[in-house]
Amino acid sequence: MADAKEVDDRDRLDDLMTNLARARVALGLAAFAAPKLTVKLMTSAGGTDPGRDYVARMFAAREIALGAGYLLSDGPGRRLWARAGLLVDSLDTVSGLRTRRGLPLWATAGATAVAGGAAALGAAKVARDILR
């Protein structure tokens, strides 16, 4: 039987993962509805660019799918969605570091920190699931 600390840790991690999933859906909906504004806020790039808006909407769809998949599943399904999120967030972190020279420092630092934080949270969830 788990002691109180283990139960509290598990609940906190599950709560954090649920909040991350909700944030993914919210960000995805915002990026889908207003791709130009989303990109401008994240990179300071302005102007009209249909290609950029298309890529932003693809990002939005991915975030909505990852968040909704996690929120709408449980048990083994939730473990699978957590692994998919970990993979995506890890790749986003690496991509952020690789594109440093092409973006303002604040944009790179902010996006990489968010992706890295989400990857760390996902890694904690995946590790806990594996060790059970």
Q: What is the pLDDT of residues 25-50, one digit of tens each?
A: 999 999 999 988 888 777 766 666 78
- 67, 19 Cβ separation under 8 angstroms: no
Q: Specify the DSSP class assigned to residue 3.
A: -
* pLDDT tens-place string over residues 83-126: 999 999 999 999 989 887 877 888 888 889 999 999 999 999 99
Q: Which residue has the tokens 């207003």?
A: 34
Q: pLDDT tens digits, residue range 46-73?
A: 666 788 788 889 999 999 999 999 999 9
- Identify the DSSP state of 75: T
- How many Å apart are CA 68 and CA 49, to the nearest integer? 28
**Contact in structure between 25 and 67 (CB atoms under 8 Å):** yes
Q: Are residues 28 and 60 in contact, defined by beta-carbon separation less than 8 angstroms?
A: yes
Which amino acid, one-letter code, is at 105? L
At 107 the pLDDT is: 82
What was the pLDDT predicted at 7? 54
